[in-house]
Amino acid sequence: MLKIVFIVVLAVVATQAQEHRCVAPTYFQARLLAYDHETGYYRDGRFSYDAASQRVRMIERVNENATRPQVDELFLHHENKAYRVDLKTRKCNVSTIDRPFRLVEVPEQSQYIGESSIGSLEVPGAGVLLSTWFHMTHDTEVVGNLTTSFTKEECIPYSETFHGYQVKSKQHLRFHRKFFDVTIGLDDPNTFDVPYECRGRI
């Protein structure tokens, strides 16, 4: 029995040794679905990502039945500024970013969990293989567990799940994000321009 357990442990260690953490493409766009389990806040929109210049934009889809304001958010970390436009009132709010830029990646010291697939791998182009990772976050701001899934070949993000709390406020954090229709690169060079409603407040 001990021999069987030892062989299984060796197999797991060997598999983890063969898997290498990855970083998502420097530039990509996707449809992002996000759900905050603590607040019940659901978001659906167009997500744009630029790791080189540390820029992120999320433009939510307009839903007439929405119970919360739907927004266009632009985060320019290199300028330490965030722009937020209410898509209904068109009012702009400018604030200071109080957190560092976070790469879309498999964090260092992550543990490889395993692989899964979406669609059918038997038909070319009909499916994709995913690798899933677990990471324990413990820094001065946030403590918790992060589970991420990426495609094995291109390291394209598929999902993120986090459960933890903020160190200072002790506020619980529990959210899930899923990426769809990911395209590598940016289809519009003006994607990260400051929204028109905010330009007088730069």
Domains of the chain and CATH, by start: 27-201 (2.50.20.30)
Q: What is the pLDDT along the chain (202 residues), one digit of tens a residue?
A: 444 433 333 334 444 445 888 989 999 999 999 999 888 888 999 999 999 999 999 999 988 776 788 999 999 999 999 999 999 999 999 999 988 899 999 998 999 999 998 887 777 777 889 999 999 988 778 899 999 999 998 999 999 999 999 888 888 999 999 999 999 999 998 999 999 999 876 6
Q: Which tokens go with 2?
A: 């001990």
Q: Count the neighbouring beta carbons within 10 Å of the beta carbon of residue 47.
A: 23
- pTM reported for the whole predicted model: 0.84
